[in-house]
Amino acid sequence: PRSFLSTDTKPSSITIDGTPYPADEWTNVPPSIISHYGRSLHLQPNHPLSITRKLIESRFPSFQNHNNLKPVVTVGQNFDSLGFAADHPGRSKTDTYYVNKDTVLRTHTTAHEVDTFRANTNNGYTITADVYRRDAVDRSHYPVFHQMEGALTWDRNDFSSRGELTKQILADVEKIPKHDLVVDNPNPTFHDVRNPLQSEHHSPEEAEAVATHLKRSLENMVVAIFSEADKALAAAGQGAEAEQEPLKVRWVEAFFPHTSPSWELEVWWRGDWLEVLGCGVIDQPLLNRADVPSRIGWAFGLGLERLAMLLFGIPDIRLFWSKDQRFLGQFDESKPARRFQPFSKYPAAPRDVAFWLPKAGPVITETPASVSSAPSPAGGQPTEPPTTSEPPAFHENDLMEVVRNTAGTDVENVALIDSFKHPKTGRQSLCYRVTYRSLEKTLTNEEANALHEQIRQELVSRFGVELR
Of all residues in this chain, which one has the CB nearest to ligand FA5 in the complex?
303
Residue 279 near ligand FA5 by CB under 6 A: yes
Residue 141 near ligand FA5 by CB under 6 A: yes
Q: Tell me how far, at minimum, the Cβ of 10 lies from ligand FA5, in Å.
A: 27
Residue 91 near ligand FA5 by CB under 6 A: no
Residue 409 near ligand FA5 by CB under 6 A: no
Strand order in the sheet with 411-421: 411-421, 428-436, 349-356, 466-467
The 3 state secondary structure assigned to 173-215 is HHCCCCCCCEECCCCCCCCCCCCCCCCCCCCHHHHHHHHHHHH
Phi first, then psi: what are they for 328, rounded to 5°? -60, -35
Using the contact rule CB under 6 A, the part of the chain among 42-50, 253-261, 403-411, 456-464 near ligand FA5 is: 253-261
Binding track, positions 289-308, relative to ligand FA5; x by CB under 6 A? ----------xxxxx-xx--
Q: Tell me how far, at minimum, the Cβ of 130 lies from ligand FA5, in Å.
A: 11
Using the contact rule CB under 6 A, the part of the chain among 7-15, 218-226, 278-286, 364-372 near ligand FA5 is: 278-286
Largest CA distance in the chain: 74
Q: Tell me how far, at minimum, the Cβ of 276 lies from ligand FA5, in Å.
A: 6
Query: How far is Cα 99 from Cα 349, in angstroms, rounded to an integer?
Result: 34
Using the contact rule CB under 6 A, the part of the chain among 232-240, 276-284, 337-345, 394-402 near ligand FA5 is: 276-284
Q: Tell me how far, at minimum, the Cβ of 140 lies from ligand FA5, in Å.
A: 6
Q: Tell how far CA 24 is from the center of its chain.
A: 26
How many residues contact ligand FA5, by CB under 6 A?
A: 27
Binding track, positions 199-238, relative to ligand FA5; x by CB under 6 A? ----------------------------------------
Q: Tell me how far, at minimum, the Cβ of 63 lies from ligand FA5, in Å.
A: 14
Query: How far is Cα 228 from Cα 234, in angstroms, rounded to an integer?
Result: 10
Q: Tell me how far, at minimum, the Cβ of 204 lies from ligand FA5, in Å.
A: 20
Query: How far is Cα 441 from Cα 344, in angstroms, rounded to an integer?
Result: 9
> Helices 204-235 and 48-57: crossing angle, nearest 10°?
140
Q: What share of the chain is helix, strand, coil (3-state, %, to 5)?
A: 35, 25, 40
Q: Which residues contact 423 (CB under 8 A, 6 or more apart)?
A: none
Q: Tell me how far, at minimum, the Cβ of 2 lies from ligand FA5, in Å.
A: 26
- Are the C-beta atoms of residues 316 and 409 closer than 8 Å to each other? no
Of the pair 133, 202, the CB lying nearest ligand FA5 is at: 133
Binding site for ligand FA5 (CB under 6 A): 108, 110, 133, 135, 141, 145, 147, 149, 256, 258-259, 262, 275-280, 299-303, 305-306, 375-376
